[in-house]
Amino acid sequence: MGKVTGFLEYQRLQEASEAPQLRKKHYKEFVVHLSDADAKVQGARCMDCGIPFCNNGCPVNNIIPDWNDLVYRGAYREALDVLHSTNNFPEFTGRICPAPCEAACTLGINSDPVGIKSIEHFIIDKGWENGWVVPQVQTVKTGKKVAVVGSGPAGMAAAQQLARAGHDVTVFEKNDRVGGLLRYGIPDFKMEKSHIDRRVEQMKAEGVTFRNGVFVGKDFPPNVYNWAKETIFPDQLKKDFDAVVITGGAEQPRDLPVPGRELKGVHFAMEFLPLQNKVNAGDKVKDQIMATGKHVVVIGGGDTGSDCVGTSNRHGAASVIQFELLPMPPEQENKPLVWPYWPTKLRTSSSHEEGCERDWAVATKRLEGKNGKVEKLIAARVEWKDGKMVEVPNSEFELKADLVLLAMGFVSPVQQVLDAFGVEKDVRGNAKASTDGEGCYKTSVDKVFAAGDMRRGQSLVVWAIREGRQCARAVDEYLMGSTVLPR
C-alpha cells in the first residue's frame, strides 16, 4: 500500500494544462501528465482500502490500489502490467474518461479523491515513452475467424482480446479510419488521434485485419456520417466467419423537432465535430461547417456539447452559448446519500474554461432565419415539477444564432444495421443481449454477438472497453467451449 498516512499528508494535484487563451489557438492536447515526483505523491494518497470502491466504480474494474502502490514505489512497468490486465487502452480512458472511479474513491467521502485518472494517464504515457507497449502475439492459432463490425472502443477491445486468444479477427469500419466515435467524435485537443493509430499498429502486429470504408448492412440513414465505399451484407459475413461481433455504436442522434429545424446552420454535433478532426488529420474537406465569427448556440449540456463549445472557440466564434433543458445541478452533491455512485453536480469542462455562456432550464421553441439560414433562436425558461417540465409563462426570449449545434445525445444504434442483421432489439432499440451468465453478449441471431453502445445504448468509452472485453470472452467460450480471457 502506498504510504499509510499519505492521505493525511498530501493534497490532490490537478494535472497541469496550458492556459485557455493559449490552447484555444490550436487543436493539440493541452493537458500535461504528472511528473515522476508528483505521481509518486499522488499514489501515496491511496489508502489501499479493504474495499476499494474505485475498483468497483470503474467499469473495467481497474485494480487501482495496486497500481497506485506500484507508482508510489516507482515500479512503473509493473504498474503498467496491472493496468493493462484490466484495460486494453488506458491512454484513451486516462484522457477522456469522466472517472467514475474517483467519484467512488473512499478518500472522496470527506476529502479530495485520489487523482486516479491522472495516475492512469501517467502510467500509460510512461509505458509508451519507454517502449513497454509491444504487440502480444498469440502463436497458438485456433483457426477460427471472427468479424468485428465497428471499430470504436468496444470493437477495438473485442478485436484485440480475440486476437490474443488466437482467433483470426477482421474489423470492419464504415469510415476511412479506425476508432469510431473516438476518432471522429472526440476533438483532438482532448485526445490526439495518434494514440489510436499506435494501437491499430499494435493490433495489426497481433494479427488483426482492418477493413476501413466497408459498411456492413443494407441501407443507412442520411444524418449519420458514413464514408463507406463498399457494402457487405450481414449474411455474407455470417457465412465467412465463425462469429460476428457487432459494435457499431449508438449513432442515431436525438433531433430537435421545432419549427425552423430545417434551416441551414442547424446541425447535429456529429455533423460538425468529425470534419474538424479530418482537417486536423490532413484531409481536404469540402464545405466544412465553421463557427468562425458566428454566434453559436449549442443545445445540450453534456460532453458532446462541451466538445462543440471547444471546437467553436477554436474556430473563432463570435460568441458561444450552451443550453441545457434540465435545471442547474448543485455545485456539490449530497455525498452521504450519493457516494460512491456517480453524482449529479455542476461540472465545468476545460472547454467551458475557454469561454462560453451556459444556461439551464431552457427549452428551444423555434428557430427563425432568412433565406433558409438560421439567424435567431427563440427559447423559453422551464421549470421541473415532479419530473414534469412546465414552461414558465412569459419567459420567452430570443438569441442571435448563426450556428446551432444539436448535442442532445443519441437515441439508439442505427436501426437499419440491426435490422439488416435481424437481431432482436430491446425497448430502447438496442441489440438485445445479456451481460451475465450463459449466452451473454449473444444476440438472438446465431453467431452474432453485440457489445458496446450498440448493446447498451450511448455510454462512456470505458463501458465500451468493458463490453468489448467481456464480449470477446463470451465469443471465445462460444467458439472453443472454454476460455481463459478475463471478463
Of the pair 106, 151, the CB lying nearest another protein is at 106
Of the pair 41, 289, the CB lying nearest another protein is at 41
Question: To the nearest whole angstrom, how small is the minimum distance from the Cβ of residue 407 to another protein?
Answer: 31
Question: To the nearest whole angstrom, how small is the minimum distance from the Cβ of residue 213 to another protein?
Answer: 32
Question: To the nearest whole angstrom, how small is the minimum distance from the Cβ of residue 338 to another protein?
Answer: 8
Question: To the nearest whole angstrom, how small is the minimum distance from the Cβ of residue 52 to another protein?
Answer: 6
Q: Report the 10 Å Cβ neighbour count for 52.
A: 23
Of the pair 66, 125, the CB lying nearest another protein is at 66
Amino acid in the structure at residue 394: N
Contact by Cβ (8 Å): 250, 453: yes
Neighbour-count burial for 323-333, b at 16+ CB within 10 Å, e otherwise: bbbeeeeeeeb
Cα 436 from chain centroid? Answer: 23
Contact by Cβ (8 Å): 18, 35: no
Question: To the nearest whole angstrom, how small is the minimum distance from the Cβ of residue 340 to another protein?
Answer: 6
Backbone angles phi, psi at 483, to 5 degrees: -150, 150
Of the pair 110, 371, the CB lying nearest another protein is at 110
Of the pair 85, 348, the CB lying nearest another protein is at 85
Considering only CA atoms, which of 270, 289, 269 is closest in space to residue 279? 289
Q: What is the DSSP string of 415-464?
A: HHHHHHHT--B-TTSPBP--SSSTTTTB-SSTTEEE-THHHH-S--HHHH
Of the pair 163, 298, the CB lying nearest another protein is at 163
Amino acid in the structure at residue 436: D
d(CA 217, CA 471): 21
Of the pair 225, 342, the CB lying nearest another protein is at 342
Of the pair 56, 348, the CB lying nearest another protein is at 56
Q: What is the DSSP letter of 245?
A: E
**What is the grid cell recorded at 16?**
497541469
User: CA-based angle 454:189:154, to the nearest 5?
Assistant: 20
Question: To the nearest whole angstrom, how small is the minimum distance from the Cβ of residue 101 to another protein?
Answer: 11
Whose grid coordinates read 511528473? Answer: 35
Of the pair 203, 289, the CB lying nearest another protein is at 203
Of the pair 17, 483, the CB lying nearest another protein is at 483
Cα distances (angstroms) measured from residue 229 to each of 115, 213, 217: 44, 5, 13
Question: To the nearest whole angstrom, how small is the minimum distance from the Cβ of residue 441 to another protein?
Answer: 18
Question: To the nearest whole angstrom, how small is the minimum distance from the Cβ of residue 336 to another protein?
Answer: 5
Question: To the nearest whole angstrom, how small is the minimum distance from the Cβ of residue 47 to another protein?
Answer: 6
Contact by Cβ (8 Å): 358, 324: yes
Contacts 24+ apart (CB under 8 A), 463-466: 463/59, 464/152, 464/153, 464/154, 464/157, 464/247, 465/59, 465/60, 465/87, 465/88, 465/89, 465/92, 465/93, 465/153, 465/154, 465/157, 466/59, 466/60, 466/61, 466/157
CA-derived radius of gyration, the chain:
23
Residues whose CB is less than 8 angstroms from the CB of residue 332 and which lie 6 or more positions away in sequence, other chains included: 345
Q: Which residue ranges make up the site for another protein (CB under 8 A)?
A: 4-5, 7-8, 47-53, 55-57, 61, 63, 65-66, 81-82, 85, 104, 106-107, 109-111, 140, 164, 336-337, 339-341, 484-487
Of the pair 65, 248, the CB lying nearest another protein is at 65
Question: To the nearest whole angstrom, how small is the minimum distance from the Cβ of residue 167 to another protein?
Answer: 14
Contact by Cβ (8 Å): 105, 114: yes
Question: To the nearest whole angstrom, how small is the minimum distance from the Cβ of residue 58 to another protein?
Answer: 8
